[in-house]
A and B are shown apart, each in its own frame.
Chain A
Amino acid sequence: KQEVTQIPAALSVPEGENLVLNCSFTDSAIYNLQWFRQDPGKGLTSLLLIQSSQREQTSGRLNASLDKSSGRSTLYIAASQPGDSATYLCAVAYSGGGADGLTFGKGTHLIIQP
């Protein structure tokens, strides 16, 4: 059974800091990995998608890396802002187009202090 683990479970930092969220997965035969953001009472917002052949993806202040062989991904958030406060979820797909659904981690609850 594939497992996705996210560390830390919760993180609180002052505004302006750079931070790293970690995700690890037990089965390295992934198709792709996604990072999502979930705001309280809301659905999911896809942040970055990394294909298994890629090493990183960037979008604005966000950078996600993938080390497939070691089963790890990191989400780097630069110059954090209070608006970044949310739960960040890592999810892995083991087949193309999410044909078998995604396996999610439990998330990292992030609080950026003004």
Chain B
Amino acid sequence: GAVVSQHPSRVICKSGTSVKIECRSLDFQATTMFWYRQFPKKSLMLMATSNEGSKATYEQGVEKDKFLINHASLTLSTLTVTSAHPEDSSFYICSAPDRSENTIYFGEGSWLTVV
């Protein structure tokens, strides 16, 4: 079964609204989680690194005020897309490394459509 759960799998929202995506590690604790974005026919790009108990680290070109990341506990990270625009429509996927197994697990991904 899944060891990293991502919710929702699909979401449609109106322009200007905010939408939250959750990423949970089910069987292990993750002090770090990663958020990726994938546009059609493009590679997955790392957006930011979510750190439990501290601020997220954003990759160059990613607006931290638009993509709010909160790592509230050792098993949960959330990505909130604020004031969403149609160009934010994309596939967002999280991952979490299980350091005890030296393995990184991915969530199922979330398809965001902004209309």
Question: Which residues between 37 and 74 of chain B lie within 8 Å of chain A, taking CB atoms?
Answer: 41-46, 49
Q: List 25 A-B contacts (CB under 8 A).
A: A4-B43, A41-B111, A42-B108, A42-B109, A43-B6, A43-B107, A46-B106, A89-B44, A91-B44, A93-B104, A96-B102, A97-B97, A97-B102, A97-B103, A98-B34, A98-B95, A99-B32, A99-B97, A101-B95, A102-B34, A102-B44, A102-B95, A104-B36, A104-B45, A106-B43
Q: How many residues of chain A have a CB within 8 Å of chain B?
A: 24
Chain B facing A: main interface SS: strand
Q: How far is the CA of A7 from the CA of B109 in the complex (A)?
A: 25
Q: In the complex, what residue of chain B is closest to A97 when comparing beta carbons?
A: B97
Q: Fill in one digit per residue for A70-114: 1 if any B CB lies within 8 Å of its CB, else 0.
A: 000000000000000000010101001111111111110000000
How many of chain B's residues touch chain A, expressed as a range? Answer: 20 to 34
Quote the shortest CB–CB distance from B71 to chain A (angstroms).
Answer: 14
Q: How far is the CA of A103 from the CA of B36 in the complex (A)?
A: 10
Residues of chain A having any CB pair with chain B under 8 Å: 4, 34, 36, 41-44, 46, 49, 89, 91, 93, 96-107
B14 within 8 Å of A (CB atoms): no
The answer to whether A44 and B109 have CB atoms under 8 Å apart is yes
B112 within 8 Å of A (CB atoms): no
